[in-house]
Amino acid sequence: MKFGVVVFPGSNCDHDCFYALKTACHQDVRFIWHKDHNLGDVDAVILPGGFSYGDYLRTGAVARFSPVMDAVVDFANHGGIVVGICNGFQILCETGLLPGALMRNKDLRFVCKFCHLRVENFDTVFSNQCLQGKVLNIPVAHAEGLYYATDDVLAELNKQNGVLFRYCDKDGTLSDDSNPNGSLQNIAGIMNREGNVMGMMPHPDRCFEKLLTSSDGVSIFNSMVQNGGIN
């Protein structure tokens, strides 16, 4: 499968995504420069974490207008697989490819730590390789990760099983203590109605080998690969 990792000025997890896909999943990966208007012949696009354009405004608000984003939106609208991780998730919400918004963390501080995630829907492009009943251990690192959406949107998301990951404690129970940023309904990652665009705040690109404390991120990347294989 061919992955393209978009490089915005200020992206700083671009290399982590590249390295994880290359070494842990043995996939074909390339970078896509933010000034490009064409994605090339990729099967999936990753919008990586970081501080695109410095994020001195609302996170992702500038990146949304980046030249490459027209192509990304077009790609998504034609069924292409698009994943936004952390800053990438924020950008996807800004473009409207995903519903809702990411607001300042509840305690107003940046938070970097490992979190437990419960997989809420295993039958997706992004989670089919996750094991039923296994709680994932994947770190977060953000200042704006509080997922917010109106009641209607939340109801709709839940109805279509669009919530993929929720913060939980290590045995899978949802609680306020396990929610690192105050996200509504402990939401950590969501997918669009069509099932081809996914955004998540936690970083699978930081836990893909045993020596990085956890290798649970691999199951998310491998889900896409598995899906690509079926196609």
Chain positions contacting another protein, by CB under 8 A: 9-10, 12-13, 15-16, 19-20, 49-51, 53-56, 109-113, 139, 141, 143, 203, 205-206, 208, 211-213
Kindly state the smallest distance separating residue 192's Cβ from another protein, in Å.
27
- Are 208 and 136 within 8 A, CB to CB? no
CB of 126 or CB of 208, closer to another protein: 208
Least Å distance, CB 196 to another protein, is 26
Q: Which is nearer to another protein, 55 or 94 (CB)?
A: 55
Residue 112 C-beta: closest distance to another protein, Å: 5
Residue partners of 102: CB distance under 8 A and separation at least 6 = 59, 60, 89, 90, 93, 142, 144, 145, 146, 147, 148, 201
The dihedral formed by the CA atoms of 118, 121, 123 and 129, expressed in degrees to the nearest 10: -10
Selection from 43, 34, 109 nearest residue 78 by Cα: 43
Contact 5, 20 (CB under 8 A): no
Q: Which is nearer to another protein, 49 or 100 (CB)?
A: 49
Rounded Cα–Cα distance for residues 27 and 186 (Å): 32
Q: How far is the CB of 78 from another protein (least distance, A)?
A: 29
Tell me how far, at minimum, the Cβ of 17 lies from another protein, in Å. Answer: 9
Give CA–CA dist 137/19, Å, rounded. Answer: 19
Q: At what angle do helices 87-95 and 67-77 cross, to 10 degrees?
A: 80
Nearer to another protein by C-beta: 9 or 228? 9
**Residue 2 phi/psi, 5° resolution?**
-105, 120
Indicate the residue among 13 and 47 with the shorter CB distance to another protein.
13
HSE-up of residue 168 (Cα within 13 Å, Cβ side): 18
Closest distance to another protein from the beta carbon of 111 (Å):
5
Residues making up the chain, counted from first to last = 231
Query: Considering beta carbons, is residue 61 or 141 the nearer one to another protein?
Result: 141
